[in-house]
Amino acid sequence: MVFDPAVQRAQLLIEQKRFAQAEQTLRSVQAHYPQDDSIHALLAVCQLEQDRLSDAEQSAREAVRLQADVAFNHYILGYTLCQQKKLEEAERVSREALRLDSSEAHHYALLARIRMLQKKWEEALEFANQGLEQSAEDTTCLNLRAQCLTKLNRNVEARLTIEDALEQDPEDAFTHANTGWSLLEQGHHREAERHFGEALRLDPSMEFARVGLLEALKARNWYYRLFVKYYFWLGKQSSRLQWAVIIGLWLIMRVVDSLKDSNPAIAPYATAVLILYGIFVITTWIATPLFNLFLRFTKYGKHALSEREIRGTNWLGGIMLLCLVSFVAHWFTQWAIFDFLTGSSFLMVMVVGVWFQIDKHMKGAKLIRGIGIAIAVMLVLDFLTGFGIFPFNTKMTSDLVVFLLYAFVISVNYFAIRNT
């Protein structure tokens, strides 16, 4: 590492979480020492914290290229790859960091993170435990251990581990946020709120805690609590089992539908089941922005929403209002235009509900958004052709809407499972 006052100043800025200023300082030093690997590694840290994952990966790879026998260079590259869910390469790079320095607890913690993303909870727990063997007070390993134990339903052990982590560093924001998520998963949303609030007091910029607080606030509603439990349960399962649940529920509903048609005696009950299933499916798509919309009218909830989440509630609320007004208007007038607007706005409620939940780094984000835009365009064309404003085949536009809707459903489910 170059012994330059500017590098030391950059490191101090990183400790103060002033990553943009630290990057600017490192850039000025890099002009004089372009072959110093430590500067590239520190740049990767700054870019990673600013959510510029591609830039961080490039800087980390350059650090490894310049000095392949430094464990930290491999660690930061592995962490960057892990954040992008390039898990196979992340594991290979992380194991190299561990080979170069097997005494560093963070190297075991990174492998534990990778195993957690692969839903291999037992292996993740083993890596976290190995990290604690190197440093019994390492809060990262303690937090990861607690997460693994929670996923394995070993809640008593998880709570003891969390208490240990808080005892080691009661002012650690991440530990409080992690405690909040663990409590939320166990169904203790009131306690979770307190820990998320403490995490945000210690670090107001922590997104992990802000999102957790939102979930805890929404979990005050009994209906949303059911979905929180469902999401946590489904998230623990392997991708195969997740698909089995989704397809299995759909097949069961198909059987119920066929029984309704063939057996009039059970038709009312079957219809009720199908309606409940439909409500469940739609709500799983729009639950997050819908309950964010409800939070807009609460004392604290409106302050916890990000600008993007507020935009999402504006769009969802506007389209839901259009759907309701169109439905009422059609009820009284029986005009075809209101019937069309009711159906179209209902479809767009689901599209918009998903749109604002998609993270830009999520696999398949561009595809899902592209199909969503295509659905909106085809609905407009369907409207124009239906009223003779646009010379196009009405049946073809309607068929394309249906096809795109199916593609949207499949894509959302597929990539949601890939990213959980």
The CATH classification number of 1-101 equals 1.25.40.10
Name which residue leads in pLDDT, 387 or 133: 133
**pLDDT tens, 101-158?**
999 999 999 999 999 998 899 999 999 999 999 999 899 999 999 999 999 989 899 9
- Counting residues of the chain whose pLDDT is more than 70, the rounded percentage is 88
Q: For the chain, what are the domain ranges?
A: 1-101
Whole-model pTM: value is 0.75
Nearest-10 crossing angle of helices 173-185, 189-202 = 160
Tens digits of residue pLDDT in 194-239 = 999 999 999 888 888 998 999 999 998 888 888 888 888 877 777 6
pLDDT tops 80 at residue 247: no
When pLDDT is averaged across residues 369-373 and rounded to a whole number, the result is 78
DSSP 309-368: HHHHHHHHHHHHHHHHHHHHHHHHH--HHHHHHHHHHHHHHHHHHHHTT--TTSTTHHHH
Instruction: Please tell me whether residue 111 adopts helix, strand or coil conformation.
Output: helix
The pLDDT value given to residue 370:
78
Radius of gyration of the chain (CA): 25
Give me the mean pLDDT over the 317-341 stretch.
87
Report the C-alpha gap between 251 and 257 in whole angstroms.
Answer: 10
Task: Check whether 387 has a pLDDT greater than 70.
Answer: no
